[in-house]
Amino acid sequence: MHLLPQILFILLLGATAYLVSRRVGQISRNILLGRPVGRRDRMGERWKALLLIAFGQKKMFKKPLVGLMHFIIYAGFLLINIEVLEIVIDGLAGTHRIFAHVLPVAFYAFLISFFEFLAVGVMLSCVVFLVRRNVLKLPRFWKPEMKGWPALDANLILVIEIVLMVFILTMNAADQVLQTREFADNHYYKTGTFAFSQFFVPLLSGIESVGTLFFIERFGWWAHILGIFAFAYYVTYSKHLHIALAFPNTFFSNLNPKGQFENMPAVTREVKLAMGLMEDDGQEEEEVKFGAKDVQHLTWKNLMDAYSCTECGRCTSECPANLTGKKLSPRKVMMDTRDRLEELGQYMAQGKSKEEALAMGDTLYSERYISKEEIMACTTCNACVEACPVNIDRSISLCKSGNTLRWKKRMHLNPGT
């Protein structure tokens, strides 16, 4: 009977691992629909971009207060995972606060207090972010592409984070009360008080029934870990996937100067031949493909960009086309790309081959997704690229080389040929 919670935990952990890994496989397969692009050069600069922009959140600190709050949520997410590790070990081994038994008790209490400090910081930051979105109604959160699911997704995740933190504090508070009660097996090991949950202890210490206290502690424990399991799967369908993809996305950033052309070798050769700048070496003309019609004409990095987008709208709020009332929203370009990828992923999950899937539904560059009107409004100024906190180079996905004229020719004169 005592093994029942362990068995249940193992089953739930296994189910989560299976669902998340299956989803990761689907997303990877979708990203690999893109064409190849080399991003393994200049490794030093790549590591620097990852450390400064993903780990250090450098671009977020352009607005220091918002940057700090976002950093607290991010640090909380990373560091509270140490506590989650303890919960997972306890769940698998049937132990209770295993780290309290292997670490010096004072250090353990300090560690949990530090996590509680982060938890409270996360809760406060999430409340501020909810207010910014829903009460102050920051314009970038209320653009047309944010209606429906994107707005709900953003709010849901903030609420979920608050609720998860409440469960941690509840669990810790009940634990501290149980530590004062007598147990034959020393199950509730004496850890001392924790920084924030100690303030909830007076609310619970009046409860005489050990069973009720035990239920509250276990409820907080199970609700927290089940919430994390559900969150891990949910994130793969959410804009919050950026918490994982921001790292590879910044590492594989476009390191060239913004807007730098990528000349097409076949066209360069033609021009050089026409201008008498090179001798005709008799080499057979290779087939030149212009334009982009669907996701397979973009690079895998463009497609990873789409899954890494945080939907923050900083790009759109800097876009001169959007600011002057044009239909173009660089954020929507990313969201549309991801939606089309997801659509293709579903076709492939139903057993269709890549080619069959690509022939189904409307292509990415069509009125359903990214329309001609939107593309034509781009000035290729790169303001969106500069603003993006996860280094998304939209000018490349909009025009592959930052050149509107060439983009327009590719897209509309020779769409996908």
Residue among 165 and 319 whose Cβ is closer to ligand SF4? 319
Residues numbered 162-221 forming contacts with ligand SF4, rule: CB under 6 A: none
Name the DSSP class of 417. Answer: -
Q: Which is nearer to ligand SF4, 123 or 388 (CB)?
A: 388
Question: Helix, strand or coil for residue 299?
Answer: strand
Cβ distance to ligand SF4 smaller for residue 171 or 384: 384
When the beta carbons of 210 and 244 are compared against ligand SF4, the nearer one is 244
Task: Choose which of 67, 94, 192, 320 interacts with ligand SF4 (CB under 6 A).
Answer: 320
Residue 26's nearest CA partner among 357, 391, 369 is: 357
Residue 156 CB, shortest distance to ligand SF4, in Å, is 18
| Alpha-carbon dihedral angle through residues 401, 403, 409, 412, given to the nearest 10 degrees | 80
Smallest gap from Cβ 242 to ligand SF4, in A, equals 7
Nearest Cα neighbor of 33 from 343, 311, 250, 244 is 343
Show the site string, 299-318: x = touches ligand SF4 by CB under 6 A, - = not: ----------xxxxxxx--x
Closest to ligand SF4 by CB, 18 or 237: 237
Does residue 358 bind ligand SF4 (CB under 6 A)?
no
Q: Of 362-391, which residues contact ligand SF4 (CB under 6 A)?
A: 378-384, 387-390
Rounded CA separation 161/120 (Å)? 11
User: Is 348 in contact with 37 (CB distance < 8 Å)?
Assistant: no
Contact mark string toward ligand SF4, 322..341, x via CB under 6 A: ------x-xx--x-------
Q: Which of 33, 54, 87, 392 binds ligand SF4 (CB under 6 A)?
A: 392
Structural Rg of the chain based on CA atoms = 26
**Residue 192 or 248 with smaller CB distance to ligand SF4:** 248
Long-range Cβ contact pairs of 105-111 (< 8 A, separation 24 or more) = 105/190, 105/191, 105/192, 106/192, 108/191, 109/191, 109/192, 109/193, 109/194, 111/82
CB of 59 to ligand SF4, least distance (A): 9
The region, left, alpha or beta by phi > 0 then psi within -120 to 50, assigned to residue 283 is beta
Closest separation in Å from C-beta 240 to ligand SF4? 12
Give the long-range contacts of residues 25-30, CB within 8 A, separation 24 or more.
26/345, 26/348, 26/349, 27/236, 27/241, 27/307, 27/345, 29/345, 29/348, 30/303, 30/307, 30/341, 30/342, 30/344, 30/345
Cβ atoms of residues 105 and 192 within 8 Å: yes
Query: Residue 188 in contact with residue 213, Cβ under 8 Å?
Result: no
Rounded to the nearest whole angstrom, what is the least distance from the CB of residue 394 to ligand SF4 in the complex? 6
Cα–Cα distance, 339 to 346 (Å, whole number): 11
CB 385 within 8 A of CB 392: yes
Instruction: Using alpha carbons, select from 160, 178, 174, 170 the residue that is nearest to residue 238.
Output: 160
Residue closer to ligand SF4 by CB (options 104, 148) is 148
Q: How far is the CB of 344 from ligand SF4 (least distance, A)?
A: 20
Give me 101's structure tokens: 């038994």
Cβ-based nearer residue to ligand SF4, 331 or 410? 331
Residue closer to ligand SF4 (CB basis): 156 or 273: 156
What's the closest the beta carbon of residue 408 comes to ligand SF4, in angstroms?
Answer: 12
Minimum Å gap between C-beta 282 and ligand SF4 is: 41
17-56 residues near ligand SF4, rule: CB under 6 A: none
Question: Which residues sit at the interface with ligand SF4, rule CB under 6 A?
Answer: 309-315, 318-321, 328, 330-331, 334, 378-384, 387-390, 392, 394-395
